[in-house]
Amino acid sequence: MQIFKVGGAVRDRLLGLPVTDIDWVVVGATAEEMLAKGYRPVGADFPVFLHPQTGEEYALARTERKSGRGYGGFIFHASPEVTLEEDLIRRDLTINAMAEDDQQNLTDPYHGQRDLEARILRHVSPAFAEDPLRVLRVARFAARYAGLGFTVAPETLELMRQLSESGELEALTAERSWKEISRALMEDQPQVFIQVLRDCGALKVLMPEVDALFGVPQPEAHHPEIDTGLHTLSVLEQSALHKQPLTVRWACLLHDLGKGLTPEEAWPRHIAHEHTGLKLIKAVNERFKAPKDCQELALLVGQYHTHGHRALELKASTLLELLQSFDVYRRPQRFEEFIVACEMDARGRKGLEQRSYPQADYLRGAADVARGVAVQPLLEKGFKGPELGEALKRERLKALKAYKENA
């Protein structure tokens, strides 16, 4: 029995990056031997075991063969005869197909170290094209390592293009897709993830609503970058630069989908795109079964982001409606995420990345004023039920009018 550290742990150590997850491969062992040593089995499809002390994953060396469509369409074969090289060749990228023993001696049959030095993301073998999930994984790695100068090898991008055209991407489950998408959006340069998907034709299969934004012009006065797709990438980039959470990044990606529905004769204006985009945002949300908080914020940002930009001009009654829509009294965090999403939208414009956004503090102040209206005096006046709600709304409106006058 031989044990090797494999994959990301080896890659990141060689890059000088912190190593977080460690995966191990066991060569020359049977499942029975692993059980006898106290390892706990966890793999349903193939033999993976948890170490009795550390809880880290140890997988028996295995080969795989395509047996159907999608990510799950594989037959795995694990036995003591499977070599380390045979196990490594089934991996996605050369930089993930290296192993080292306990003395840090490197096994690198597919030249992963060379590709690390050349900053290239390259597939290990033609079997790469058998797993559609790898399209998303490579795009995610491109987003993660873009800051180090990594790019996707042209021949790998071509394989990704073939996969995108094959219909295999449609076989991916919503859960598997969302796992990759959500992880990619939390990388340092999530806009690279979207760009790579577009470069290989996967974006128009997975998110045609986002792909449709490229080539759609906007008024140059507000959008010096003009192209709506490029603006979306810039907004996503800003959300990462400002360390925003997943909810905000997802909303930033989807906020302008309605502009993809504007008739060409109306370009570059996009009247009511906030409302026309809602059905598209809902469709994307449902396609990937995004978490509820991501879904809700994306819809709210899509509908109200122009309200955010015009916050200083809004009538007090419109401001109150906006606050009510977000339920700022019980869910203050959601309104805060809306505000920062609007700010990312404002900054995601060519040459305007450092612009100030006074609307943010104005909206926060308005929310504080509305929340500060006390209920107790109204109760003491005998208001209750629907009448109490109306009285509370009147008091909040009065407070917002005063706030607007003094702002």
Under 8 Å CB-to-CB from 74, ≥6 apart: which residues? Answer: 45, 64, 65, 66, 67, 68, 130, 131
Q: How many CA atoms lie within 13 A of 14 on its CB side?
A: 26
The residue ranges of every structural domain in the chain are 1-109, 376-406
Residue type, 253: L
Residue 377 DSSP SS3? helix
- Please say whether the beta carbons of 205 and 169 come within 8 A: yes
Q: Model-level pTM? A: 0.92
- Please say whether the beta carbons of 80 and 18 come within 8 A: no
| C-alpha pair distances (Å), 8 with each of 51, 197, 339 | 18, 22, 36
pLDDT digits (tens, 9 = 90+) for 191-242: 999 999 999 999 999 999 999 999 999 999 999 999 999 999 999 999 999 9
pLDDT digits (tens, 9 = 90+) for 170-193: 989 999 999 999 999 999 999 999
Question: Is residue 67 over pLDDT 80?
Answer: no
Q: Which residues pair with 227 in a beta bridge?
A: 217
pLDDT at 68: 53
- Cis check for the bond before 358: say yes or no (omega within 30 of 0): no
Q: Write out the H or E segment, with its range, that includes residue 77.
A: strand 74-78
39 DSSP 8-state letter: P
Task: Name the CATH topology of 1-109.
Answer: Beta Polymerase; domain 2 (3.30.460)
pLDDT at 262: 96
Strand runs (DSSP E) across 79-122, as ranges?
99-100, 106-107, 120-121
**End-to-end CA distance of the chain, in Å?**
73
When the pLDDT of each residue in the chain is averaged and rounded to a whole number, the result is: 94
Cα Dmax for the chain? 84
Burial 255-294 (b: 16+ CB within 10 A, else e): bbbbbbbbeeeeebebeebbebbbebbbebbeebebeebb
Q: What is the DSSP string of 121-137?
A: E-BSSGGGGG-THHHHH
